[in-house]
Amino acid sequence: QVQLVESGGGVVQPGRSLRLSCAASGFTFSSYGMHWVRQAPGKGLEWVAVISYDGSNKYYADSVKGRFTISRDNSKNTLYLQMNSLRAEDTAVYYCAKDWAIMDVWGKGTTVTVSS
Amino acid sequence: QSALTQPASVSGSPGQSITISCTGTSSDVGSYNLVSWYQQHPGKAPKLMIYEVSKRPSGVSNRFSGSKSGNTASLTISGLQAEDEADYYCCSYAGSSTFPHWVFGGGTKLTVL
């Protein structure tokens, strides 16, 4: 079945970096755009970034532009989110979601805590 | 990139119908038929319930329906059941060809009385 599994979360100090991964299975990963969406503790969902099926197009929310980089390795069926210059307000559960237009399948998320 | 506006909470009794609104602008909800609705139970990942304003994914109950008028989208749940109690989020495409982006609503907590 279609499955997305995030990993790479943890506790990190402000200003440091972290890379999240999202392993995809059960569908042709290379045919779909992919998103990262986050949810701060007790808050709503916030769109973070999207990447096209072939990695040629990438777009970001203003809140992360210049600090986060979305990428993918279609040979490994894996999506990535490189997060640099982390801030306390980046603390959240990070989800990956499939499909450029409708985010139809979501992973269970990985938790990132930015704290000194 | 302003969030879409949803009521913070709605409630209804089992068997009743409720509607959750999602108000955006002419730059997002009003311009595109790319509005989705997600259900999220506590501690769980969001689940797609409605896409492209009114389409239901396979496996989603036909008690869930979506619509749009102008800058406002709506999710209606008929025949409320206890398991419908959850948070609901709308999402709309809000971008242009040069800057695609998406925006979520703040979420609505549905309580089944």
Closest by Cα among A43, A102, A110 to A80: A110
For residue B48, give the DSSP letter.
E
Residue type (1 letter), A86? L
Shortest CA distance from B35: residue in chain A: A102
pLDDT in tens, A43-69: 999 999 999 999 999 999 999 999 999
- Please list the ranges in chain B whose pLDDT falls under 70: 1
The values of phi and psi at residue B88, to 5°, are -125, 135
| pLDDT at B1 (0 to 100) | 63
Contact present, B73 and B63 (Cβ < 8 Å) = no
- pLDDT tens for chain A, 116 residues long, are 999 999 999 999 999 999 999 999 999 999 999 999 999 999 999 999 999 999 999 999 999 999 999 999 999 999 999 999 999 999 999 999 999 999 999 999 999 999 99
* Cα B100 from chain centre: 20
* Cα A99 from chain centre: 13
Test A103 with B47 for CB contact under 8 angstroms. Answer: no
- d(Cα B106, Cα A48) in Å, to the nearest integer? 15
Q: What is the 3-state secondary structure (H, E, C) of A24-85?
A: EECCCHHHCCEEEEEECCCCCEEEEEEECCCCCCEEECCCCCCCEEEEEECCCCEEEEEECC
| pLDDT at B2 (0 to 100) | 75
| pLDDT at B8 (0 to 100) | 97
Shortest CA distance from B93: residue in chain A: A101
pLDDT in tens, B73-92: 999 999 999 999 999 999 99
Q: Mind telling me how many Å the CA of A49 is from chain B's nearest CA?
A: 8
Chain A, chain B: beta-carbon pairs less than 8 Å apart: 62
For residue B39, the surrounding DSSP H or E stretch is: strand B35-40
Contact present, B74 and B16 (Cβ < 8 Å) = no
